[in-house]
Amino acid sequence: MTRLLSIDPLHIDDALIQRAAQVIRKGGLVAFPTETVYGLGANALDSAAVARIFTAKGRPASDPVIVHIGERDQLDQVALNVPPLASRLAERFWPGPLTLVLTRHPSIPAIVSSGMPTVAVRMPSHPVALALLRAAQVPIAAPSANRFSRPSATTAQHVLEDLHGAVDLILDGGPASIGLESTIVDLTGDPPVVLRPGGIPLEDLRTLLPALQVQVRLLREDEDGILAPGMLYKHYSPRAPLLLFDGPHQSVVEAMRRTVLDMHSRGKAVGLLIASGERSSFDDLPALLFDMGGDLAAISSQLFEGMRSLDRQGVDAILVHGYDRVGLGLALWDRLLRAAEGRVIECG
C-alpha cells in the first residue's frame, strides 16, 4: 500500500523523516522531493531493494540509477579512487543538481549501475532529501519517480499518478524547484564528459573544467538517426505525441498556428505549451494552452507538469517550441528533443 504524507521543507517533522528512513533501511521504496525532480529511493547497498525500483518503474535493467548521499564523507563509501577534481566539483556544486560518474565501490551492488564498473553520485540540496539521507545512514539509489519513459515527476501528485501501489511511502514536500534532472559529468576518463545537461549549466562547469566535452546524443550536430544499443530515444514523453518547432520566432508562431488549425479541422484536440509572453499569439486558437511561465527557470520547472496536465485533458498532440540553449536552456532543449523522439520541425 502507498502512503502519501505531507512534509514542510522549512519545518521538517523529524518523526516523519525517521519513519521514512526506517522504510528505506527495511528494503522499502520511498519517493521524496529533491530540487531537481522527485526521486524513487531505495537503500543503494541492498540489491533486492534496488531491484524493486526497476520493477516499480518498469525500467529496463540496462538503465543505471543515481546514488544519493547526504554527507561528503559518504562519497568514499560509494566510489573508489575519488580524484581531486571530483572533490573540487563537490566542494563547489554540492549539495546541488550535479551528478558525478566515478569508479564504483564494491559496496554498491552491480544492479545499481547496470553492471558497469562506474557509479553516478549526487548530493541533493532539498532539505527533505538531505534529512532523509542523513537519517537513513545509507546511500539511497533513486531515479526519477515516474513510470519509465514518462515525463519525470515534479510533484507528489505525479508520483501517485505513475506509481500508486508500487511505492511504500511518498513524502510530499511541494513542487520541485528546478523541475529538470541533474547535470551528469563523467569523470572516469580524460577529459571529463557531460552525459546529460541539467540543473547546473555547462557555462558554470566550464569555469572549473575548461576541457569539458559534451556527449549527449541528441544534442550532436549531425544526427545520423542510428540508435546505439541501450540508447533510448523515447524519454520524458507525454502520452500524446509532442511536436517540437524550432526556428525564428515569428516563423515558429505561424507554423504552430497553422498546425493547430489543420489538426482542429481534422477533429483533433491540440494542446500548446507556451511562455507567458506568447499568450496573445495563440489565445484565439481552438487549443488548450498551458502557460509554463515567463522565464527559462519557470518554463523548465513547469515543463513536465505541462506535459502531464495536457495529457490529463486528453489532447491528441502537444505543440511546443525550442527556447534559447544557454544556461538551463540546454537541459530544457535536451528534454524537449527526447520527448519529441529526436524530431524537430524546422521553420522559416
Q: Which residues bind ligand AMP (CB under 6 A)?
A: 63-66, 101, 113, 116, 118-120, 143-144, 181, 184, 195-196
Q: Which is nearer to Mg ion, 21 or 336 (CB)?
A: 336
| Contact flag: residue 182 with Mg ion (CB under 5 A) | no
Q: Which is nearer to ligand AMP, 33 or 271 (CB)?
A: 33
Q: How far is the CB of 153 from ligand AMP (least distance, A)?
A: 10
Q: How far is the CB of 120 from Mg ion (least distance, A)?
A: 12
The residue type of 53 is I
Q: Which is nearer to ligand AMP, 78 or 256 (CB)?
A: 78
* Residue 155 site contact among Mg ion, ligand AMP, none (CB < 5 to 8 Å, cut-off depends on kind): none
166 touches 2 (CB < 8 A): yes
112 touches 100 (CB < 8 A): no
* Residue 64 site contact among Mg ion, ligand AMP, none (CB < 5 to 8 Å, cut-off depends on kind): ligand AMP
Q: Which is nearer to ligand AMP, 113 or 177 (CB)?
A: 113
The one segment of 6-14, 51-59, 144-152, 165-173 that binds Mg ion by CB under 5 A: 144-152
Q: How far is the CB of 7 from ligand AMP (least distance, A)?
A: 21
* Residue 66 site contact among ligand AMP, Mg ion, none (CB < 5 to 8 Å, cut-off depends on kind): ligand AMP
| Contact flag: residue 144 with Mg ion (CB under 5 A) | yes
Count of residues interacting with Mg ion (CB under 5 A) = 1
Q: Which is nearer to ligand AMP, 101 or 128 (CB)?
A: 101
* Residue 35 site contact among Mg ion, ligand AMP, none (CB < 5 to 8 Å, cut-off depends on kind): none
Q: Which is nearer to ligand AMP, 187 or 252 (CB)?
A: 187
Q: Which residue is nearest to Mg ion (CB)?
A: 144
CA distance 150 to 236: 5
* Residue 154 site contact among Mg ion, ligand AMP, none (CB < 5 to 8 Å, cut-off depends on kind): none
> If DSSP states are collapsed to H, E and C, what string results for the chain?
CCEEEECECCECCHHHHHHHHHHHHCCCCEEECCCCCCEEEEECCCHHHHHHHHHHHCCCCCCCCEEECCCHHHHHHHEECCCHHHHHHHHHHCCCCEEEEEEECCCCCHHHHCCCCEEEEECCCCHHHHHHHHHHCCCEECCECCCCCCCCCCCHHHHHHHHCCCCCEEEECCCCCCCCCCEEEECCCCCCEEEECCCCCHHHHHHHCCCCEECCHHHCCCCCCCCCCCCCCCCCCCCCCEEEEECCHHHHHHHHHHHHHHHHHCCCCEEEEECHHHHHHHCCCCCEEEECCCCHHHHHHHHHHHHHHHHHCCCCEEEEECCCCCCCHHHHHHHHHHHCCCCCEECC
Q: How far is the CB of 199 from ligand AMP (least distance, A)?
A: 11
Angle at 194 between CA 190 and CA 197, to 5 degrees: 170
Q: Which is nearer to ligand AMP, 195 or 253 (CB)?
A: 195
* Residue 119 site contact among Mg ion, ligand AMP, none (CB < 5 to 8 Å, cut-off depends on kind): ligand AMP
Q: Which is nearer to ligand AMP, 75 or 317 (CB)?
A: 75
Q: Can you give the binding site for Mg ion, defined by CB under 5 A? A: 144
